[in-house]
Amino acid sequence: MSGASRIAEQLDAAALARSPLARPFTDADPDLDLETAYAVQRLLVRARVERGARPIGAKLGLTSRAKQEQMNVSSPLYGRLTSDMLWPAGVPIGQGPFIRPRIEPEIGFLIGEPIPAPASALSVLAATTAVFAAIEIIDSRYSDFRFRLADVVADNASSAGLVVGDRLVDPAAAGSLRTVGCVLRIDGEVVATAAGAAVLGHPAHAVAWLVNELAARGESLPTGAIVLSGALTDAFRLEPGSSAVAEFDGLGSVEAVC
């Protein structure tokens, strides 16, 4: 069995059992490389597809300074989203399939046409059918979210779930995503605020980074893909019985209820 298959098997089993791995792989293998880690992601998606899910898009992670500082990892990364990760807005998620979930406010993109590489924020916006408010639910298959870059890439960038707002906004009508304001409330209390520029200067720039990274690995975003451009703020633990609302200027709001 290759290194990637062995790692994928352990991560998949940890997710299914809701039982985190005690140590990240780089503790024993500090040389674990990013290509192996991205190969692990592909195997994890394959396992989900074999269980009936379908790929729906991708997510950026660690695209904001807030998140990089929170996780002590200084490089962006991406992961893959599948249909079994979608949760309806406002409907209690309960424990769901998660170990210790956290929520993040994000700006979502619905991709309407192929984006050639090298991509830019402008070419991404030109190919985007709609932008929308989203809450990403992240979870780590490593105990206490302790990992280095290669570990978290292998763990599909902590992908676990997403809740999507009900307003699809034409990017031309959305105003500048650089200055769009975001307010995150948990149980009514404002816990964080940010602007779109928190995400690599402009959320569309983060999507362009993703397109270019995928192209370097011979991949591309299919038409109809959903892309989460990365958290604007820290991630927050969502306790059972509580509600998180992310509100964005011009994009409306979205609620995740635990």
> Which residues form the interface with ligand OOG (CB under 6 A)?
59, 61-63, 67, 71, 104, 136, 138, 140, 145, 152, 157-158, 230-231, 235
67 binds, among ligand OOG, Mg ion, none (CB under 5 to 8 A by kind): ligand OOG
How many CB atoms are closer than 10 A to CB 250? 15
* Bridge-based pairing state of the strands 86-87 and 181-186: unpaired
- Cβ proximity to ligand OOG: between 134 and 221 the closer is 134
- Cβ proximity to Mg ion: between 104 and 213 the closer is 104
Q: Which residue bears the tokens 């979608």?
A: 86
Nearest to 252 by CA among 109, 108, 111, 132: 132
Query: What is the rounded CA–CA span in Å between residue 125 and residue 109?
Result: 9
| Shortest Å, Cβ 3 to Mg ion | 26
- Cβ proximity to Mg ion: between 231 and 251 the closer is 231
- Residue 221: phi and psi, rounded to 5, are -85, 125
| Shortest Å, Cβ 65 to ligand OOG | 10
- Residue 51: phi and psi, rounded to 5, are -90, 5
- Cβ proximity to ligand OOG: between 62 and 93 the closer is 62
Interface ranges with Mg ion (CB under 5 A): 104, 136, 231
| Shortest Å, Cβ 80 to ligand OOG | 12
Query: What is the rounded CA–CA span in Å between residue 176 and residue 193?
Result: 17
- Side-chain half-sphere of 213: how many Cα atoms within 13 Å? 18
233 binds, among ligand OOG, Mg ion, none (CB under 5 to 8 A by kind): none
| Shortest Å, Cβ 63 to ligand OOG | 6
157 binds, among ligand OOG, Mg ion, none (CB under 5 to 8 A by kind): ligand OOG
62 binds, among ligand OOG, Mg ion, none (CB under 5 to 8 A by kind): ligand OOG
- Side-chain half-sphere of 156: how many Cα atoms within 13 Å? 30
Q: Which residue bears the tokens 């809701």?
A: 18
First to last CA, the chain: 38
158 binds, among Mg ion, ligand OOG, none (CB under 5 to 8 A by kind): ligand OOG
| Shortest Å, Cβ 20 to Mg ion | 18
151 binds, among ligand OOG, Mg ion, none (CB under 5 to 8 A by kind): none
| Shortest Å, Cβ 127 to Mg ion | 21
- Side-chain half-sphere of 116: how many Cα atoms within 13 Å? 0
